[in-house]
Amino acid sequence: MNEIVVGFALVAVVLLATPIISGVVDRSPLSFAFLFLLLGLALGESGFGVIDLDIHDRLLEVIATLTLSLVLFLDAVKLQIEELRSRWFVPALTLGPGTTLIISLLAAAIAWLIDLPIIVGFIGGAVLASTDPVVLRELIRDHRIPRSVRQTLRIEAGMNDLVVLPTVLILAAIATSSSSGAQAWIVFIAKLLLLGPAIGFVVGGLGSWLMVRIDKATPIRRELQSMYGLGLVLGSYAAGTAVGGDGFLAAFAAGLAVVLLNQTLCDCFLEYGEVTSEMAMLLSFILFGIVLSGLIPDISLGPALALALIAIFLIRPLSLTLVLLRAHMSWEARGFVAWFGPRGLNSLLLALLVVQLHVEGAEILMGAVGVIVFVSTILHGASSGPAVKWYAKRIQHSVHEEEREADAAGIFEGHSEEVPRVTPDVLNSMLQSNEPPILLDVRSRFSYEGDGFRIAEDVRVQPDELGDWLLDREPDRRVVAYCT
Protein backbone atom coordinates (compact mmCIF):
# COMPACT_ATOMS: atom_id res chain seq x y z
CA MET A 1 0.00 0.00 0.00
CA ASN A 2 1.23 3.52 -0.81
CA GLU A 3 2.98 5.15 2.16
CA ILE A 4 1.02 8.39 1.75
CA VAL A 5 -2.29 6.50 1.83
CA VAL A 6 -1.13 4.54 4.89
CA GLY A 7 -0.13 7.75 6.64
CA PHE A 8 -3.43 9.46 5.86
CA ALA A 9 -5.40 6.42 7.02
CA LEU A 10 -3.56 6.21 10.34
CA VAL A 11 -3.95 9.95 11.00
CA ALA A 12 -7.66 9.56 10.27
CA VAL A 13 -7.87 6.70 12.77
CA VAL A 14 -6.27 8.85 15.46
CA LEU A 15 -8.46 11.89 14.78
CA LEU A 16 -11.70 9.92 14.56
CA ALA A 17 -11.18 7.26 17.22
CA THR A 18 -9.73 9.43 20.00
CA PRO A 19 -12.85 11.56 20.62
CA ILE A 20 -15.22 8.60 20.16
CA ILE A 21 -13.52 6.33 22.72
CA SER A 22 -12.44 9.09 25.13
CA GLY A 23 -15.43 8.56 27.41
CA VAL A 24 -14.72 4.84 27.68
CA VAL A 25 -11.03 5.46 28.36
CA ASP A 26 -11.81 8.01 31.09
CA ARG A 27 -14.02 5.51 32.91
CA SER A 28 -11.80 2.45 32.52
CA PRO A 29 -8.28 1.35 33.51
CA LEU A 30 -7.28 1.45 29.83
CA SER A 31 -5.16 4.26 28.42
CA PHE A 32 -4.87 5.73 24.94
CA ALA A 33 -1.20 4.68 24.88
CA PHE A 34 -2.10 1.04 25.49
CA LEU A 35 -5.01 0.99 23.03
CA PHE A 36 -3.10 2.54 20.13
CA LEU A 37 0.00 0.44 20.79
CA LEU A 38 -2.25 -2.62 20.78
CA LEU A 39 -3.88 -1.46 17.54
CA GLY A 40 -0.46 -1.18 15.93
CA LEU A 41 0.47 -4.69 17.05
CA ALA A 42 -2.78 -5.98 15.53
CA LEU A 43 -2.18 -4.20 12.22
CA GLY A 44 1.42 -5.37 11.91
CA GLU A 45 3.16 -8.52 10.75
CA SER A 46 2.44 -10.65 13.83
CA GLY A 47 -1.20 -9.55 13.83
CA PHE A 48 -3.42 -9.33 10.76
CA GLY A 49 -0.58 -8.21 8.50
CA VAL A 50 -2.50 -5.20 7.18
CA ILE A 51 0.51 -2.86 7.23
CA ASP A 52 4.18 -3.71 6.78
CA LEU A 53 6.39 -1.07 8.39
CA ASP A 54 10.13 -1.50 8.81
CA ILE A 55 12.01 -0.02 11.77
CA HIS A 56 14.04 2.07 9.28
CA ASP A 57 10.95 3.40 7.47
CA ARG A 58 11.06 7.14 6.72
CA LEU A 59 7.47 7.65 7.84
CA LEU A 60 8.30 6.41 11.32
CA GLU A 61 11.47 8.52 11.42
CA VAL A 62 9.67 11.73 10.41
CA ILE A 63 6.74 11.28 12.82
CA ALA A 64 9.04 10.24 15.68
CA THR A 65 11.38 13.21 15.10
CA LEU A 66 8.51 15.70 14.99
CA THR A 67 6.93 14.19 18.11
CA LEU A 68 10.05 14.18 20.27
CA SER A 69 11.06 17.70 19.18
CA LEU A 70 7.62 19.10 19.97
CA VAL A 71 7.34 17.24 23.28
CA LEU A 72 10.76 18.48 24.44
CA PHE A 73 9.99 22.08 23.44
CA LEU A 74 6.62 22.06 25.22
CA ASP A 75 8.10 20.33 28.28
CA ALA A 76 10.67 23.12 28.57
CA VAL A 77 8.10 25.90 28.16
CA LYS A 78 5.52 24.40 30.54
CA LEU A 79 8.06 23.32 33.13
CA GLN A 80 9.67 26.72 33.25
CA ILE A 81 6.37 28.57 33.45
CA GLU A 82 5.18 26.46 36.36
CA GLU A 83 8.38 25.56 38.14
CA LEU A 84 11.04 28.27 37.76
CA ARG A 85 9.29 30.51 40.28
CA SER A 86 10.00 27.94 42.97
CA ARG A 87 13.18 26.16 43.96
CA TRP A 88 12.84 23.40 41.40
CA PHE A 89 16.60 22.72 41.29
CA VAL A 90 16.65 21.17 44.77
CA PRO A 91 14.49 18.11 43.97
CA ALA A 92 15.92 18.00 40.43
CA LEU A 93 19.44 17.65 41.83
CA THR A 94 18.27 15.20 44.48
CA LEU A 95 16.52 13.03 41.89
CA GLY A 96 19.68 13.02 39.76
CA PRO A 97 21.29 10.22 41.77
CA GLY A 98 18.03 8.28 41.44
CA THR A 99 18.24 8.44 37.63
CA THR A 100 21.89 7.36 37.75
CA LEU A 101 21.05 4.40 39.97
CA ILE A 102 18.15 3.39 37.72
CA ILE A 103 20.40 3.47 34.63
CA SER A 104 23.09 1.39 36.33
CA LEU A 105 20.73 -1.28 37.66
CA LEU A 106 18.87 -1.51 34.37
CA ALA A 107 22.18 -1.84 32.49
CA ALA A 108 23.12 -4.85 34.61
CA ALA A 109 19.66 -6.41 34.15
CA ILE A 110 19.70 -5.88 30.36
CA ALA A 111 23.20 -7.34 29.98
CA TRP A 112 22.16 -10.36 32.07
CA LEU A 113 18.69 -11.09 30.72
CA ILE A 114 18.89 -9.90 27.09
CA ASP A 115 22.56 -10.92 26.66
CA LEU A 116 23.71 -7.63 25.16
CA PRO A 117 27.13 -5.96 25.61
CA ILE A 118 27.36 -3.88 28.77
CA ILE A 119 27.68 -0.62 26.80
CA VAL A 120 24.38 -1.42 25.05
CA GLY A 121 22.99 -2.30 28.47
CA PHE A 122 23.82 1.20 29.72
CA ILE A 123 22.24 2.69 26.61
CA GLY A 124 19.11 0.65 27.32
CA GLY A 125 19.20 1.71 30.95
CA ALA A 126 19.25 5.35 29.92
CA VAL A 127 16.44 4.79 27.40
CA LEU A 128 14.28 3.14 30.05
CA ALA A 129 15.10 5.75 32.71
CA SER A 130 12.94 8.21 30.77
CA THR A 131 9.52 8.50 32.40
CA ASP A 132 6.49 9.31 30.27
CA PRO A 133 4.75 12.63 31.07
CA VAL A 134 1.79 11.54 28.91
CA VAL A 135 0.87 8.66 31.22
CA LEU A 136 1.46 10.89 34.27
CA ARG A 137 -0.58 13.79 32.90
CA GLU A 138 -3.85 12.97 34.65
CA LEU A 139 -2.07 12.25 37.94
CA ILE A 140 -0.30 15.59 38.08
CA ARG A 141 -3.56 17.42 37.38
CA ASP A 142 -5.47 15.68 40.20
CA HIS A 143 -5.75 18.09 43.15
CA ARG A 144 -6.57 15.26 45.55
CA ILE A 145 -2.82 14.61 45.50
CA PRO A 146 -0.74 17.15 47.49
CA ARG A 147 0.93 19.71 45.26
CA SER A 148 4.45 18.86 46.45
CA VAL A 149 4.00 15.24 45.34
CA ARG A 150 2.50 16.26 41.99
CA GLN A 151 5.35 18.70 41.43
CA THR A 152 7.97 16.05 42.22
CA LEU A 153 6.50 13.75 39.56
CA ARG A 154 6.14 16.66 37.11
CA ILE A 155 9.75 17.76 37.55
CA GLU A 156 11.08 14.26 37.05
CA ALA A 157 8.95 13.59 33.96
CA GLY A 158 9.72 16.98 32.45
CA MET A 159 13.42 17.20 33.28
CA ASN A 160 14.92 13.71 33.20
CA ASP A 161 15.10 13.63 29.40
CA LEU A 162 17.52 16.53 29.66
CA VAL A 163 19.86 14.12 31.47
CA VAL A 164 18.86 10.93 29.65
CA LEU A 165 19.10 12.20 26.05
CA PRO A 166 22.76 13.37 26.19
CA THR A 167 23.62 10.14 28.04
CA VAL A 168 22.08 8.04 25.25
CA LEU A 169 23.86 10.05 22.54
CA ILE A 170 27.27 9.90 24.23
CA LEU A 171 27.01 6.18 24.99
CA ALA A 172 25.86 5.50 21.42
CA ALA A 173 28.87 7.44 20.12
CA ILE A 174 31.16 5.34 22.34
CA ALA A 175 29.53 2.11 21.11
CA THR A 176 29.94 3.04 17.43
CA SER A 177 33.28 4.86 17.60
CA SER A 178 36.27 3.32 15.81
CA SER A 179 38.75 5.80 17.25
CA SER A 180 39.35 7.31 20.67
CA GLY A 181 41.21 10.50 19.84
CA ALA A 182 40.82 13.08 22.61
CA GLN A 183 40.43 15.95 20.17
CA ALA A 184 37.63 14.22 18.28
CA TRP A 185 35.74 13.54 21.50
CA ILE A 186 36.15 17.12 22.72
CA VAL A 187 34.70 18.42 19.45
CA PHE A 188 31.81 15.91 19.63
CA ILE A 189 30.92 16.79 23.23
CA ALA A 190 31.18 20.52 22.50
CA LYS A 191 28.82 20.25 19.52
CA LEU A 192 26.41 18.03 21.43
CA LEU A 193 26.21 19.86 24.75
CA LEU A 194 27.18 23.42 23.80
CA LEU A 195 26.78 24.32 20.14
CA GLY A 196 23.45 22.60 19.43
CA PRO A 197 21.70 23.91 22.56
CA ALA A 198 23.22 27.37 22.01
CA ILE A 199 21.83 27.54 18.48
CA GLY A 200 18.44 26.35 19.72
CA PHE A 201 18.51 28.93 22.50
CA VAL A 202 19.19 31.71 19.99
CA VAL A 203 16.39 30.53 17.69
CA GLY A 204 13.87 30.27 20.54
CA GLY A 205 14.88 33.50 22.26
CA LEU A 206 15.24 35.65 19.16
CA GLY A 207 12.14 34.17 17.53
CA SER A 208 9.89 34.76 20.55
CA TRP A 209 11.33 38.28 21.04
CA LEU A 210 10.61 39.11 17.41
CA MET A 211 7.02 37.90 17.66
CA VAL A 212 6.37 39.99 20.80
CA ARG A 213 7.77 43.15 19.18
CA ILE A 214 5.93 42.74 15.87
CA ASP A 215 2.66 41.81 17.62
CA LYS A 216 2.83 45.01 19.67
CA ALA A 217 3.44 47.13 16.58
CA THR A 218 1.02 45.34 14.26
CA PRO A 219 -1.28 42.81 16.01
CA ILE A 220 -1.01 39.31 14.56
CA ARG A 221 -3.98 36.97 14.45
CA ARG A 222 -3.97 34.21 17.07
CA GLU A 223 -4.13 31.36 14.58
CA LEU A 224 -0.99 32.69 12.87
CA GLN A 225 0.80 33.02 16.20
CA SER A 226 0.05 29.35 16.93
CA MET A 227 1.68 28.42 13.61
CA TYR A 228 4.70 30.57 14.52
CA GLY A 229 5.33 28.56 17.68
CA LEU A 230 5.47 25.31 15.71
CA GLY A 231 7.90 27.03 13.35
CA LEU A 232 10.23 27.71 16.29
CA VAL A 233 10.22 24.01 17.17
CA LEU A 234 11.10 22.91 13.64
CA GLY A 235 13.54 25.76 13.10
CA SER A 236 15.48 25.07 16.28
CA TYR A 237 15.71 21.35 15.47
CA ALA A 238 16.90 22.05 11.91
CA ALA A 239 19.41 24.69 13.01
CA GLY A 240 20.83 22.53 15.78
CA THR A 241 21.26 19.59 13.43
CA ALA A 242 22.73 21.72 10.62
CA VAL A 243 25.68 22.85 12.79
CA GLY A 244 26.50 19.28 13.76
CA GLY A 245 24.76 19.33 17.14
CA ASP A 246 21.70 17.45 18.32
CA GLY A 247 18.36 18.80 17.11
CA PHE A 248 16.41 17.46 20.09
CA LEU A 249 18.58 19.26 22.64
CA ALA A 250 18.31 22.37 20.46
CA ALA A 251 14.50 22.13 20.55
CA PHE A 252 14.54 21.84 24.35
CA ALA A 253 16.91 24.81 24.61
CA ALA A 254 14.61 26.86 22.34
CA GLY A 255 11.70 26.27 24.71
CA LEU A 256 13.92 27.10 27.67
CA ALA A 257 14.94 30.41 26.09
CA VAL A 258 11.34 31.59 25.76
CA VAL A 259 10.92 32.02 29.50
CA LEU A 260 14.51 32.51 30.64
CA LEU A 261 14.59 35.62 28.45
CA ASN A 262 11.20 36.71 29.80
CA GLN A 263 9.53 36.31 26.42
CA THR A 264 6.06 34.88 25.88
CA LEU A 265 4.31 32.79 23.30
CA CYS A 266 0.61 33.10 22.63
CA ASP A 267 -1.44 30.72 24.75
CA CYS A 268 -3.04 29.74 21.46
CA PHE A 269 0.25 28.06 20.51
CA LEU A 270 0.36 26.14 23.78
CA GLU A 271 -3.15 24.86 23.06
CA TYR A 272 -2.36 24.17 19.41
CA GLY A 273 0.96 22.58 20.34
CA GLU A 274 -0.70 20.32 22.89
CA VAL A 275 -3.26 19.14 20.33
CA THR A 276 -0.59 18.60 17.67
CA SER A 277 1.71 16.72 20.05
CA GLU A 278 -1.23 14.62 21.26
CA MET A 279 -2.04 13.61 17.69
CA ALA A 280 1.62 12.95 16.88
CA MET A 281 2.12 10.88 20.05
CA LEU A 282 -0.91 8.68 19.46
CA LEU A 283 0.07 8.20 15.82
CA SER A 284 3.57 7.27 16.99
CA PHE A 285 2.14 4.62 19.32
CA ILE A 286 0.36 3.01 16.36
CA LEU A 287 3.50 3.12 14.21
CA PHE A 288 5.66 1.68 16.99
CA GLY A 289 3.08 -1.05 17.55
CA ILE A 290 3.30 -1.99 13.86
CA VAL A 291 7.11 -2.04 14.01
CA LEU A 292 7.13 -4.09 17.22
CA SER A 293 4.72 -6.54 15.62
CA GLY A 294 7.41 -7.24 13.03
CA LEU A 295 10.10 -7.58 15.70
CA ILE A 296 8.18 -10.07 17.85
CA PRO A 297 9.59 -13.18 16.09
CA ASP A 298 13.11 -12.00 17.00
CA ILE A 299 12.27 -11.14 20.64
CA SER A 300 12.86 -13.61 23.47
CA LEU A 301 9.60 -12.83 25.25
CA GLY A 302 10.50 -14.62 28.49
CA PRO A 303 13.63 -12.56 29.28
CA ALA A 304 11.96 -9.37 28.02
CA LEU A 305 8.95 -9.88 30.30
CA ALA A 306 11.26 -10.69 33.22
CA LEU A 307 13.17 -7.47 32.53
CA ALA A 308 9.90 -5.54 32.45
CA LEU A 309 8.82 -6.87 35.84
CA ILE A 310 12.24 -6.25 37.39
CA ALA A 311 12.35 -2.69 36.00
CA ILE A 312 8.81 -1.80 37.11
CA PHE A 313 8.49 -3.63 40.43
CA LEU A 314 12.08 -3.59 41.71
CA ILE A 315 14.55 -1.17 40.13
CA ARG A 316 12.41 1.98 39.96
CA PRO A 317 10.80 1.61 43.43
CA LEU A 318 14.12 0.70 45.08
CA SER A 319 16.02 3.60 43.51
CA LEU A 320 13.42 6.24 44.31
CA THR A 321 12.88 4.89 47.83
CA LEU A 322 16.58 5.41 48.53
CA VAL A 323 16.47 8.93 47.07
CA LEU A 324 13.42 9.87 49.13
CA LEU A 325 14.66 8.50 52.46
CA ARG A 326 15.35 11.96 53.89
CA ALA A 327 12.39 13.66 52.27
CA HIS A 328 9.70 15.20 54.49
CA MET A 329 6.85 13.00 53.29
CA SER A 330 4.75 10.07 54.43
CA TRP A 331 5.44 6.48 53.44
CA GLU A 332 2.31 6.62 51.28
CA ALA A 333 3.76 9.55 49.31
CA ARG A 334 7.12 7.80 48.93
CA GLY A 335 5.39 4.71 47.59
CA PHE A 336 3.24 6.78 45.24
CA VAL A 337 6.24 8.60 43.72
CA ALA A 338 8.36 5.44 43.56
CA TRP A 339 5.65 3.46 41.73
CA PHE A 340 4.73 5.99 39.06
CA GLY A 341 7.71 5.97 36.73
CA PRO A 342 5.91 4.74 33.60
CA ARG A 343 7.79 3.92 30.42
CA GLY A 344 6.08 5.18 27.31
CA LEU A 345 6.60 7.04 24.09
CA ASN A 346 9.81 8.78 25.15
CA SER A 347 11.53 5.42 25.70
CA LEU A 348 10.36 4.18 22.30
CA LEU A 349 11.56 7.38 20.61
CA LEU A 350 14.97 7.15 22.28
CA ALA A 351 15.27 3.46 21.36
CA LEU A 352 14.51 4.34 17.73
CA LEU A 353 17.21 7.02 17.90
CA VAL A 354 19.69 4.33 18.99
CA VAL A 355 18.67 2.22 15.96
CA GLN A 356 19.19 5.21 13.65
CA LEU A 357 22.69 5.66 15.11
CA HIS A 358 23.51 2.08 14.00
CA VAL A 359 24.45 0.73 17.41
CA GLU A 360 25.05 -3.03 17.26
CA GLY A 361 22.21 -4.88 18.96
CA ALA A 362 19.93 -1.83 18.79
CA GLU A 363 17.06 -3.71 17.11
CA ILE A 364 17.08 -6.38 19.83
CA LEU A 365 17.11 -3.59 22.41
CA MET A 366 14.22 -1.90 20.58
CA GLY A 367 12.15 -5.07 20.84
CA ALA A 368 12.86 -5.44 24.57
CA VAL A 369 12.03 -1.77 25.19
CA GLY A 370 8.75 -2.25 23.28
CA VAL A 371 7.76 -5.15 25.55
CA ILE A 372 8.58 -3.13 28.68
CA VAL A 373 6.59 -0.13 27.43
CA PHE A 374 3.62 -2.37 26.62
CA VAL A 375 3.67 -3.91 30.11
CA SER A 376 4.10 -0.46 31.69
CA THR A 377 1.10 1.00 29.84
CA ILE A 378 -1.00 -1.85 31.21
CA LEU A 379 0.22 -1.78 34.82
CA HIS A 380 0.59 1.97 35.32
CA GLY A 381 -2.52 2.80 33.30
CA ALA A 382 -4.65 0.33 35.23
CA SER A 383 -3.27 1.33 38.63
CA SER A 384 -3.43 5.11 38.30
CA GLY A 385 -7.12 5.48 39.22
CA PRO A 386 -7.08 3.05 42.18
CA ALA A 387 -3.76 4.46 43.44
CA VAL A 388 -5.07 8.03 43.46
CA LYS A 389 -8.25 6.97 45.27
CA TRP A 390 -6.23 5.02 47.84
CA TYR A 391 -3.80 7.89 48.46
CA ALA A 392 -6.60 10.48 48.65
CA LYS A 393 -8.43 8.29 51.18
CA ARG A 394 -5.31 7.91 53.31
CA ILE A 395 -4.86 11.69 53.37
CA GLN A 396 -8.42 12.19 54.57
CA HIS A 397 -7.82 9.86 57.54
CA SER A 398 -4.63 11.44 58.90
CA VAL A 399 -2.36 14.46 58.50
CA HIS A 400 0.48 13.86 56.04
CA GLU A 401 3.71 15.83 56.15
CA GLU A 402 3.79 16.51 52.41
CA GLU A 403 0.52 18.46 52.70
CA ARG A 404 2.33 21.23 54.56
CA GLU A 405 4.67 21.91 51.64
CA ALA A 406 3.72 24.16 48.73
CA ASP A 407 6.32 22.80 46.32
CA ALA A 408 8.66 19.90 45.68
CA ALA A 409 11.61 21.74 47.21
CA GLY A 410 9.80 21.88 50.54
CA ILE A 411 9.69 18.11 50.97
CA PHE A 412 13.47 18.00 50.62
CA GLU A 413 14.37 21.16 52.54
CA GLY A 414 11.58 21.24 55.10
CA HIS A 415 9.60 24.29 56.15
CA SER A 416 10.27 27.11 58.53
CA GLU A 417 8.95 26.78 62.06
CA GLU A 418 9.19 30.53 62.69
CA VAL A 419 5.65 31.66 61.85
CA PRO A 420 4.25 34.90 63.35
CA ARG A 421 1.13 34.20 65.42
CA VAL A 422 -1.86 36.17 66.70
CA THR A 423 -4.16 35.31 69.59
CA PRO A 424 -7.93 34.79 69.12
CA ASP A 425 -8.62 38.14 70.86
CA VAL A 426 -6.26 40.01 68.54
CA LEU A 427 -7.75 38.28 65.51
CA ASN A 428 -11.24 39.21 66.64
CA SER A 429 -10.20 42.87 66.92
CA MET A 430 -8.64 42.73 63.48
CA LEU A 431 -11.82 41.28 61.98
CA GLN A 432 -13.91 44.06 63.56
CA SER A 433 -11.69 46.82 62.19
CA ASN A 434 -12.33 48.92 59.10
CA GLU A 435 -9.69 46.95 57.19
CA PRO A 436 -10.20 43.31 58.20
CA PRO A 437 -7.65 40.77 57.02
CA ILE A 438 -8.35 37.86 54.68
CA LEU A 439 -8.90 34.83 56.89
CA LEU A 440 -7.59 31.60 55.37
CA ASP A 441 -8.55 28.11 56.44
CA VAL A 442 -5.40 26.11 55.65
CA ARG A 443 -6.18 22.99 57.62
CA SER A 444 -5.05 19.65 56.24
CA ARG A 445 -7.57 17.58 54.31
CA PHE A 446 -8.00 15.28 57.31
CA SER A 447 -8.54 18.13 59.79
CA TYR A 448 -10.91 20.02 57.50
CA GLU A 449 -13.12 16.97 56.90
CA GLY A 450 -13.06 15.82 60.52
CA ASP A 451 -13.37 19.02 62.57
CA GLY A 452 -16.82 20.01 61.29
CA PHE A 453 -16.50 23.75 61.98
CA ARG A 454 -15.57 26.86 60.03
CA ILE A 455 -15.03 30.51 60.91
CA ALA A 456 -17.53 32.78 59.20
CA GLU A 457 -16.34 34.42 55.95
CA ASP A 458 -13.07 32.51 55.86
CA VAL A 459 -11.51 31.29 52.61
CA ARG A 460 -10.70 27.61 52.22
CA VAL A 461 -7.23 26.98 50.73
CA GLN A 462 -5.48 23.64 51.00
CA PRO A 463 -2.06 24.13 52.62
CA ASP A 464 -0.11 22.82 49.61
CA GLU A 465 -2.01 25.22 47.29
CA LEU A 466 -1.25 28.32 49.37
CA GLY A 467 1.55 29.46 47.08
CA ASP A 468 -0.78 29.56 44.07
CA TRP A 469 -3.41 31.48 46.03
CA LEU A 470 -0.89 34.10 47.16
CA LEU A 471 -0.05 34.93 43.54
CA ASP A 472 -3.63 36.14 42.96
CA ARG A 473 -4.44 37.68 46.35
CA GLU A 474 -5.46 41.27 46.88
CA PRO A 475 -2.34 43.42 47.26
CA ASP A 476 -1.71 45.34 50.49
CA ARG A 477 -4.34 43.41 52.44
CA ARG A 478 -3.29 41.48 55.51
CA VAL A 479 -3.70 37.71 55.58
CA VAL A 480 -4.26 35.52 58.64
CA ALA A 481 -4.20 31.73 58.22
CA TYR A 482 -5.43 29.18 60.73
CA CYS A 483 -5.06 25.43 61.03
CA THR A 484 -5.16 22.72 63.67
pLDDT at 471 over 70: no
Residue 98, pLDDT score: 84
Residue 127, pLDDT score: 95
Percent of the chain past pLDDT 70, that is, above it, reads 89
Residue 420, pLDDT score: 72
Residue 366, pLDDT score: 94
Q: Which of the 8 DSSP states describes residue 407?
A: S
CATH class of the domain at 3-404? mainly alpha
Query: Are 348 and 65 contacting, i.e. CB atoms less than 8 angstroms apart?
Result: no
Task: Taking residues 329-352, report their average pLDDT.
Answer: 89
Q: Do strands 459-460 and 479-482 pair parallel, antiparallel, or not at all (unpaired)?
A: unpaired
Calculate the CA dihedral of residues 184, 187, 192, 194 and round it to 10 degrees: 160
Residue 143, pLDDT score: 81
Task: Taking residues 281-302, report their average pLDDT.
Answer: 91
Residue 443, pLDDT score: 77
Helices and strands: H and E segment counts in the chain: 21, 3
Secondary structure (DSSP) of 135-179: HHHHHHH-TTS-HHHHHHHHHHHHHHHHHHHHHHHHHHHHHH-S-
φ/ψ (deg, to 5) at 263 = -95, 170
Among 12, 479, 51, 32, which residue's Cα sits nearest to residue 291?
Answer: 51
Alpha helices in 301-407 (DSSP H): 301-310, 316-323, 331-339, 345-356, 362-397
Among 179, 152, 183, which residue's Cα sits nearest to residue 86?
Answer: 152
Among 313, 464, 482, 468, which residue's Cα sits nearest to residue 395?
Answer: 464
* Three-state SS at 460: strand
pLDDT in tens, 195-241: 999 999 999 999 999 998 998 899 998 888 888 989 999 999 999 99
Low-confidence winner among 185-189, 274-278, 336-340, 430-434 (lowest mean pLDDT): 430-434
pLDDT greater at residue 201 or residue 429: 201
pLDDT in tens, 262-281: 777 777 887 888 888 888 98
Please report which confidence band the pLDDT of residue 472 belongs to, taking 50, 70 and 90 as the band edges: low
Give CATH 1.20.1530.20 domain extents, the chain.
Answer: 3-404
pLDDT greater at residue 258 or residue 470: 258
Which of 71-80, 160-169, 293-302, 308-317 is the most confident on average?
Answer: 308-317
Task: Taking residues 76-92, report their average pLDDT.
Answer: 60
Vertex 221, ends 216 and 224: CA angle to 5°? 110
pLDDT in tens, 100-135: 899 999 999 999 999 999 999 999 999 999 887 766
Task: Taking residues 245-267, report their average pLDDT.
Answer: 85
For the entire predicted model, the pTM comes to 0.83
Residue 268, pLDDT score: 80
pLDDT at 361 over 90: yes
Percent of the chain past pLDDT 90, that is, above it, reads 33
